[in-house]
Chain A
Amino acid sequence: MSARAWRRHSPAQAAARWAGQLALALIAAAMLAHVGVRWDYLADAPAQVGDLLDRMLPPQWDFAPWLVQPLIQTINIATLGTAAAFVLSLPLAFFAALNTSPARALYALARLVIVVSRSVDTLIWALIFIIVVGPGSLAGALAVAVRSVGFLAKLFAEGIEEIDRGPVEAVSATGASRLQTLLYGIVPQVKPVILGVSIYRWDINIRESTVLGLVGAGGIGFTLNEAILGLEWARVGLILVVVLGIVLLSEAVSALARARIT
């Protein structure tokens, strides 16, 4: 009676899996060694975080009135940036969808714009726009808009590529012009995607806008930076609570709105 237990993998498969996992572990170990972890610093981290929390709590509640204006600014940056990106990304998506793009060259160009917009983070765009328009909310809103254009256009284009050909053919069979075909054959099909994705991007942008001020592009991040530089930790604590609140709220609003649309 040999004790043969069931095994999921043949010995060869098991060996290959072990080799793969070993390679991954070795790469991670090599990277960890190269990054140069100061273990004594790491061991000290819980104490340091504890100390930080100790200074932040309780939050300095009476500073709250000074946060109203920056908070409104943060929401404005995100909303305006998203709205501008929405307007710009509609034609861009039309060019970047294989089934609606009027020319191969335009398709390639639109894809290039999307890639560049998406690869560079909002904060880096903010650094660039600060050079152009100076520090402040305008730089922030432009940064949010430029970063979001790629995101929106990419997802809109995917939506356009997935449409049903039937209605489009039906509309064009009535003798409709290209524009009418677009408006009555394509737009109604992609409208839920377009609205849903835009609202989703808006709540991402609220989160992004909370840190734009750290590089000088307006909003509550600016107040946060001042509080950190001034070592006003109880204020930092309050700002973090407020940021947490606004991000959670915008996520909830966005989720509700998207649930109604789709």
Chain B
Amino acid sequence: MTTRTWRPPSPWPRPWIGAVVWGAGVAFLAWNVLSLEVDPARVVRGLDRLGTVAARAWPPDVERAGMLVSGVLESIEIATLSTLFGVLLGIPVAVLAARNVVPLPVYAGGRVAVTLGRTLHELILAIVFVKAVGFGPLAGVLTLTVGAVASFAKLLAEQIETIDRRPIEAIRATGASRGAVLVYAVLPQVLPRIVGLSIYQWDVHLRHSTIIGIVGAGGIGATLYNAFARYDYDLALTILLVIVGIVLAGEAVSAVARRAVQ
């Protein structure tokens, strides 16, 4: 009588494949750690410095909080305007990138545009737009608009691809044009999604609008970056708290708004 213990089924086609994959993963990570060239002495000094920095940062400098108002306002404006423009421009792009409403060549083009638009990080786009229109919030609005068009269009295209085909056929049977089919059969089905995704996009942009200032594209990020550069840590902490506050407030607003829509 042998005691047999149950083992969970292996997710790998052959057990040795699992061992190889895990081994390779661990080896890769070990190589990663080695390549960081961590200098323990520097880390120890750093931790020491962390104490000094924390002491200088606390208490947060609330007296100068007044001077953050314009930066915060600018961040909110950048987020809101870029979401609005991004959604308005993103809706037609989403239609072009949805397989079930446009012919294949158009769809392929739309997908490529949507994918490429999301690839470069906002900060890189911001650098380009700062060169194009100069320092200031306009560069930020343009940057996030481009990002919004692509990511909003991708999410909306996925929603369009899941719609019910029957209304499309019904409208088409009345002899409606392609445009009329879009307006009367496709859009009504995805409208609640458009509102929900726009709110989500605004929420994301609120976060992004806090960093694009680092390269001069407006918002609170520039003030934060300067505070760090001038070792003005108590002001930096105030700004960080303000950013956490804005993002939390934005999340609360978007949660309430999304519940109202659904």
Contacts and interface: CB of A to CB of B under 8 A. Distances in A.
Interface residues of B, number: 57
Given A28-B84, A131-B49, A79 B120 contact: no
Nearest to B210: A121
B1 interface: no
Contacts of A131: 46, 49-50, 53, 228
Interface of B: 8, 28-29, 32-33, 35-38, 42-43, 46-47, 49-50, 53, 73-74, 77-78, 80-81, 84, 115-116, 119-121, 123-124, 127-129, 131-134, 136-138, 141-142, 207-208, 210-211, 214-215, 218, 224-225, 228, 240, 243-244, 247-248
A214 B218 CA distance: 17
Given A124-B211, A207-B121, A119 B247 contact: yes
Given A120-B244, A132-B46, A210 B121 contact: yes
B252 to A, nearest CB: 11
Interface SS of B by simple majority: helix
Contact of B36 (A37, A124, A141, A248): A141
Given A120-B243, A131-B228, A52 B46 contact: no
Given A31-B81, A48-B133, 6 more contacts: A119-B243, A119-B247, A121-B210, A137-B36, A207-B121, A244-B120
Contacts of B248: 115, 119
Contact of B133 (A42, A120, A124, A215): A42
Given A115-B248, A133-B43, A123 B120 contact: no
Contacts of B240: 120, 124
Contacts of B142: 45
Contact of A76 (B35, B207, B243, B247): B35
A37 B138 contact: yes
B243 to A, nearest CB: 6
A249 to B, nearest CB: 10
Interface string A53-86: 0000000000000000000110010011001000
Interface string A30-49: 01101111100110110011
A123 B211 contact: yes
B132 A49 contact: yes
22 contacts: A34-B73, A35-B81, A42-B133, A45-B129, A48-B131, A73-B35, A76-B36, A79-B28, A123-B123, A123-B214, A124-B240, A131-B50, A134-B42, A137-B35, A138-B38, A138-B43, A211-B123, A224-B124, A240-B120, A243-B119, A243-B121, A244-B116
Given A211-B121, A243-B124, A124 B224 contact: yes
B133 A210 contact: no
A214 B132 contact: no
Contacts of A247: 119-120
Contacts of B247: 118-119
A211 B212 CA distance: 11
Nearest to A41: B133
Contacts of A132: 46-47, 49-50, 53
Given A133-B42, A210-B121, A35 B141 contact: yes
